[in-house]
């Protein structure tokens, strides 16, 4: 499958003209922070794994956390960032097992289920596009029950590049049929949204409250809402733009 070859005109969202849902056929959705509470992953990488690392290496918890956060940053914005196999080998910890051990912490953001149902009822083609490792995706879909809402679940490892890399977007059409000018992409990362904009995705929306335990940080570059609950009113979907 291939996306349209010609570049679309500038996005209505980026021109400041809000679209209606009638302008959108395909909806690409990030998982962590967008659909699911990113507190799960923040806890996993910043507390759970450092705790295990500290015990195994005789370190104070804060020192283990400091070392690991610095190590994580060495591959930020690359395919290795969320690759559980890569980190399992590098840290000597089975991260797939550790993800499964705390799967009860996975939580769906408010409004997500209702929004997905409404979008499906309107005939929108829903696709999940995530940097998550396939095993992390499996664990989270099993816990959240969201998988049936989507036509496809696409991971960066399948594409061969992270969403922060332009190559991901230029290979997207090999996996998901779409017209760029009639596609909405929703993510909590401005860096990822910027790459989608450069590729020519027509409609972009930023999620400003990816974690339930952190304050919302609205985007200064893209239309931004706190979450899907902000797009729901009286059982209907509001247009996908900043209120």
* pTM score of the predicted model: 0.91
Nearest CA to 45 among 154, 147, 133? 133
Mean pLDDT on 89-106: 98
| pLDDT at 78 > cutoff 80 | yes
pLDDT of residue 240: 86
Backbone φ, ψ for residue 179 (5° rounding): -105, 120
Question: CA neighbours within 13 Å on the CB side: how many for 198?
Answer: 14
Task: From the candidates 23, 25, 42, 85, give the one annotated as an active-site residue.
Answer: 23
For residue 144, the cross-strand partners are none
pLDDT of residue 19: 76
Residue with more model confidence, 45 or 10: 45
Mean pLDDT on 189-196: 97
pLDDT of residue 11: 41
* CATH code of domain 12-37+107-237: 3.40.50.1000
C-beta separation of 81 from 72 below 8 A: yes
Q: Is 85 a catalytic residue?
A: no
Residue with more model confidence, 118 or 243: 118
Torsion sign over Cα 136, 86, 68, 54: positive
pLDDT of residue 243: 54
| pLDDT at 230 > cutoff 90 | yes
Q: Provide the percentage of residues in the chain whose pLDDT is more than 90.
A: 88
- CA separation, residue 208 to residues 112, 148, 149, 157, 221 (Å): 14, 26, 23, 26, 12
- CATH 3.40.50.1000 maps onto the chain at 12-37+107-237
Torsion sign over Cα 75, 27, 115, 186: positive
Mean pLDDT on 18-44: 95
**Mean pLDDT lowest among 17-31, 121-135, 156-170:** 17-31
Torsion angle of C-alpha atoms 8, 241, 126, 216, degrees rounded to 10: 120
pLDDT of residue 5: 33
Nearest CA to 55 among 47, 64, 46? 64
pLDDT of residue 14: 42
């Amino acid at each position: 499958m291939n996306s349209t070859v010609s570049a679309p005109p500038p996005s209505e969202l980026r021109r400041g003209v809000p679209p209606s849902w009638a302008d959108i056929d395909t909806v690409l959705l990030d998982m962590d922070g967008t659909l699911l509470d990113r507190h799960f992953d923040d806890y996993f990488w910043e507390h759970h794994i450092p705790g295990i690392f500290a015990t195994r290496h005789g370190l104070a918890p804060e020192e283990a956390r400091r070392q690991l956060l610095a190590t994580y940053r060495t591959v930020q914005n690359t395919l290795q960032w969320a690759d559980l196999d890569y980190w399992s080998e590098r840290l000597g910890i089975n991260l797939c097992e550790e993800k499964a051990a705390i799967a009860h912490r996975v939580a769906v953001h408010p409004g997500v289920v209702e929004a997905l149902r409404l979008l499906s009822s309107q005939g929108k083609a829903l696709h999940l596009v995530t940097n998550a490792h396939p095993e992390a995706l499996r664990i989270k879909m099993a816990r959240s029950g969201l998988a049936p809402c989507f036509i496809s679940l696409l991971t960066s490892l399948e594409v061969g590049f992270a969403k922060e890399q332009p190559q991901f977007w230029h290979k997207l059409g090999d996996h998901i049929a779409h017209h760029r000018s009639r596609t909405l992409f929703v993510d909590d990362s401005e860096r990822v949204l910027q790459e989608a904009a450069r590729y020519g995705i027509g409609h972009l929306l930023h999620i400003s409250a990816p974690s339930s335990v952190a304050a919302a940080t609205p985007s200064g570059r893209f239309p931004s809402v706190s979450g899907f609950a902000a797009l729901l009113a009286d059982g209907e979907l509001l247009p996908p733009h900043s209120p």
